[in-house]
Copies of this chain bind each other. A is one copy, B any other.
Amino acid sequence: MAEHTVTMETTLELLLEEKKYATIRDILITMNPADIAGVFDGMEESSLPLLFRLLPKELAAETFVEMESDAQELLIRGFSDVELNEVLNELYVDDAVDIVEEMPANVVRRILRQADPQMRKEINEILRYPENSAGSIMTTEYVSLRPDMTVGEAILRIRRTGVDKETIYTCYVLEKDRTLIGLVTVKDLLLEQDDDAKVTEIMEQNVISVNTHTDQEEVAQMLSKYNFLALPVLDTENRMVGIITFDDAMDVMEDEATEDMELMGGMLPSDKTYLRSTVWDLFLHRIPWLLLLMVSATFTGMIITNFEGALAAQVALTAFIPMLMDTGGNSGSQSSVTIIRALSLGELEFHDLPRVIWKELRTAMFCGTVLAIACFGKIMLVDRLLMHNEEVTVLVALVVCLTMVLTVMVAKLIGCSLPMIAKKLGFDPAVMASPFITTMVDALSLLVYFGIANALLPI
């Protein structure tokens, strides 16, 4: 894929230099909008307006939607009012809204001025819905049918009005006041052999819908669960206002998974792709968590300072600190990652917390015991037999192994419960992931370590 794109860019640049515009156009019109956008995004900014004007109107609009927002802005600034109006008229409302959301205020004003009144009204309506809500990602272009229509009339209506709709394959049967009473698919309509059958006879009455305020992640999960092409969006008075299609749901799923991973990795989520992010972007998204976690690691330092006497008396203890901290951190992130993912896929609810804790406790018991045995064996074999480290006594090994079991249990307990509590309190559970939990577990594992050492060793 990438190889192909790279060659294409060079070819186009050569053709541009030679002013072979007809050839360029012939090449571009064989391509898919997403691929054209990929090629355009990799080319010199100065050649974009010329290249873009070579595209036929509809393909131009479809390509425009797929481009990066900085290239879109550049193009809009170069458009004449007529050109801008032409592109806008070819866009679906939800795509227009996506573009508007990325542009600076003066560009937005120009877009809204050039859009047709109907589109301007719809853009403004969608913009009012909260970020990440179903309302904010829906589109208002769907096929609606009246309950008194026959199958033949419905097909005719689709053939007449379908060209501007984002999908024609799911049609919604609405009362006069836009109350949704059922849906028919084009498959149902086409497979119905009797053209005079009423739409109401073949429609699905038990329609699954979402509200304008439903979270977009929930919408994506519903589309994925039911394998629907589109979900209808209702307002607070149960009137249909738009649809969300599967392709938007796929984008949402991808974005939400990326966001969860970024949070799990201890970063603020970013909308930009890696190669588009500047060093400054990366820095700003990474430094807050690094600073916060560094400061909280102070506690671990304090604990160690507090037990300096113990460490001086039993020098061997220091060498096991990293292993205990790492194992604790790893055990905790295993649990937190599992729980965070299950929460975001809707597999777990807060009322499952006792079940989760009980399951994690038993898993921790098994893991901790196996780790402790392995660790004991390793200490006896490597530290004592092979390296003849006299300071590592059997008692020290026991202290380390006991700490291991307790640390794994504490880590898994914290790792599973914090994300669920965070979600209950209305935070994104992904924030409670590895880095945060590692820091907490570090401090706790040291306390356990020195506590056990104090009790068992001559300190």
Task: Give the interface of A toward B (CB within 8 A).
Answer: 1-2, 30-32, 34, 155, 158-159, 162-163, 168-169, 186-187, 190-191, 193, 206, 208, 223-227, 229, 246-247, 249-251, 253-254, 257-258, 260-262, 264-267, 273-275, 279-280, 282-283, 286-287, 289-291, 293-295, 297-298, 300-302, 304-305, 308, 311-312, 315-316, 318-323, 325-327, 329-331, 333-334, 336-342, 345-349, 351-352, 355-356, 359-360, 362-363, 366-367, 370-371, 374-375, 378, 382, 387, 389, 408, 434-435, 438-439, 442, 446
> A435 and B333: CB pair below 8 A?
yes
Contacts of A294 in B (CB 8 A): 323, 326-327, 371, 374-375
CA distance A164 to B409 in the complex (A): 53
Contact at B352–A293, with CB atoms within 8 Å?
A: no
Contacts A162-B191, A435-B333; A298 near B323 (Cβ below 8 A): yes
- The answer for the CA separation of A262 and B339 in the assembled complex, in Å, is 10
Q: Which residues of B contact A304 (CB under 8 A)?
A: 318-319, 321-322
> Do B261 and A261 touch across chains, with their CB atoms under 8 A apart?
yes
Say yes or no: B375 contacts A254, CB within 8 Å. Answer: no
In the complex, the answer to whether A159 meets B190 with C-beta atoms within 8 Å is yes
- Complex contact B265–A336 (CB within 8 A): yes
Q: Is the CB of A289 within 8 A of B330?
A: yes
Q: Is A320 a contact partner of B291 (Cβ separation < 8 A)?
A: no
Q: Write the chain B residue with the least CB distance to A62.
A: B227
Chain B residues near A264: list those with CB within 8 A.
261, 264-265, 337
* A-B contact sample (12 more), CB < 8 A, given A224-B247, A275-B347: A32-B206, A159-B193, A253-B257, A262-B338, A264-B265, A264-B337, A274-B348, A275-B342, A280-B366, A283-B363, A283-B366, A311-B315
Partner of A348, one of B193, B275, B305: B275
Closest 7 CB pairs of A and B: A265-B337, A297-B323, A300-B322, A257-B257, A227-B247, A274-B342, A301-B319
List, in ascending order, chain B residues with CB within 8 A of A360's CB: 282
Contact between B322 and A297, CB atoms less than 8 A apart: yes
How far, in angstroms, from A265 to B437 measured CA to CA in the complex? Answer: 12
Interface of A is mostly: helix
A118 to chain B minimum Cβ distance, whole angstroms, is: 21
Given A159-B191, A267-B338, A334-B266, decide whether A283 and B315 contact each other with a Cβ distance below 8 A: no
Tell me, in angstroms, the Cα distance from A70 to B286 when the chains sit together. 44
Q: Please pick, from B31, B193, B286, B327, the residue contacting A334 in the complex, using a CB distance under 8 A.
A: B286
A311 vs B334: C-alpha distance in the bound complex, in angstroms? 33
- A351 to B3 Cα, complex, angstroms: 10
Bound form: Cα–Cα A256–B162 in Å: 35
In whole Å, how far is A449's beta carbon from the nearest beta carbon of chain B?
12
In the complex, the chain B residue whose C-beta lies closest to that of A167 is B187
- Distance in Å from the Cβ of A266 to the closest Cβ of chain B? 5
Is the pair A287, B367 in contact by a Cβ cutoff of 8 Å?
Answer: yes
Question: Using Cβ atoms and an 8 Å threshold, which residues of chain B touch A339?
Answer: 274
The answer to whether B301 and A333 touch across the interface, beta carbons within 8 angstroms, is no
Residues from chain B with a CB closer than 8 A to the CB of A374 are 291, 294-295
Q: Are B206 and A190 in touch, CB under 8 angstroms?
A: no
Which residues of chain B come closer than 8 Å to A251, judged between CB atoms? Answer: 224
**Contact (Cβ within 8 A) A301 B320:** yes
Contact B337 A261 (CB under 8 A): yes
**Cβ–Cβ contact B327 & A325, under 8 A:** no
Given B163, B265, B273, B362, which contacts A191 in the complex, CB threshold below 8 Å?
Answer: B163
A270 to B, closest residue via Cβ: B338
Contacts of A32 in B (CB 8 A): 206, 208, 226
Which residues of the partner chain B approach A223 to less than 8 Å between Cβ atoms? 250
